Amino acid sequence: MNKKASLNLYAKIEPLIGFYQEYEGLYDKYLQIITSLKPKNILDFGCGNGRLLEKLKVSGFDAFGIDLSQDMIQKALLKGVKAYNKDIKELSGDFELIIAAADVLNYFDKSELNNILNEIFSKLAPKGYFLADINTLHGFRHVADGLLIKETDKRFLAVEADFQNKKLVTNFTLFEQNGEYYKKEQAVIEQYYYPLEYFKKLNILYLKKVISIRMFDKKIPDKNLMIFQKSP
């Protein structure tokens, strides 16, 4: 199964996984920072179902999103936000702010991440800002790793996540009742751990500030929210 198909299945099961409440705190943090930066235009890279875009719209910001998954984009459009199933390479633009929220950067292996960060750099206006959160080692080892089962009257979902050698491999298996039978769908999503040191060494984007986020574990940070500014 290719990456797009896996992300489309993820779009389908995301409402079953839930955790929407936990994400509210993360989005509030983003909104707080964005309100202080007052950007004229915003790109939400990997916007998913448009939850953050919706909040940005309500707060009066000019923002649009892109996502590799067409199904995610469809969900975002239902919220009345601007969202496109486009590759960042296809965009032209001088964005004062680019966002990659809810561990989007962890979805890329090292060479993909290098390319994405170069694309982000090229799409930012001079002195533009880039905000992104990444999972900490604790977030991968003690929050993401493990087994999650969700069941409704017509659906059964098993999420098995295994973190080894700085890589989280998550297998999703969905059984969906269709009359007398169950349709089975499966997908695998890989995520990669990056230490903060990796981002501190970037010379195209300057890491100005890091905010520790406790989303699922109230004691130990499971995410780091990073504020970058485009280097001249």
Ligand X SMILES: C[S@@+](CC[C@H](N)C(=O)[O-])C[C@H]1O[C@@H](n2cnc3c(N)ncnc32)[C@H](O)[C@@H]1O
User: Which CB atom, from 223 or from 230, has the smaller least distance to ligand X?
Assistant: 223
Residues 138, 160 contacting (CB under 8 angstroms): no
Q: Are strands 124-135 and 223-230 parallel, antiparallel or unpaired?
A: antiparallel
Q: What distance in Å separates the CA atoms of residue 133 and residue 47, rounded to the nearest whole number? A: 13
Which residues, including other chains, have CB under 8 Å from residue 181's CB and lie 6 or more apart?
A: none
Residue of 9, 34, 43, 52 that binds ligand X (CB under 6 A):
52
Position 29 contacts ligand X (CB under 6 A): no
Q: Which of 151, 148, 186, 144 is nearest to 169 (CA)?
A: 144
Angle (deg, nearest 10), helices 3-17 and 70-78:
40
What does residue 118 show for φ and ψ, rounded to 5 degrees?
A: -65, -40
SS3 content of the chain, % helix, strand, coil (to 5): 35, 35, 25
Coil, strand or helix at 143: helix
Residue of 64, 107, 129, 172 that binds ligand X (CB under 6 A):
107
User: Which CB atom, from 177 or from 186, has the smaller least distance to ligand X?
Assistant: 186
Residue of 63, 69, 213, 230 that binds ligand X (CB under 6 A):
69
Coil, strand or helix at 195: coil
Position 133 contacts ligand X (CB under 6 A): no
User: Which CB atom, from 103 or from 222, has the smaller least distance to ligand X?
Assistant: 103
Candidate segments 67-75, 76-84, 128-136, 163-171, binder of ligand X by CB under 6 A: 67-75
Whole-number minimum distance, CB 87 to ligand X, in Å?
Answer: 7
User: Which CB atom, from 18 or from 219, has the smaller least distance to ligand X?
Assistant: 18
Residue of 34, 43, 102, 105 that binds ligand X (CB under 6 A):
102
User: Which CB atom, from 16 or from 68, has the smaller least distance to ligand X?
Assistant: 68
Position 34 contacts ligand X (CB under 6 A): no
Whole-number minimum distance, CB 100 to ligand X, in Å?
Answer: 7
User: Which CB atom, from 67 or from 222, has the smaller least distance to ligand X?
Assistant: 67
Position 139 contacts ligand X (CB under 6 A): no
CA 41 to chain CA mean position, Å: 19
Task: Point out which residues pair with 213 in neighbouring strands.
Answer: 223
Position 104 contacts ligand X (CB under 6 A): yes
Q: Applying CB under 6 A, which residues contact ligand X?
A: 7, 46-48, 51-52, 66-69, 72, 101-104, 107
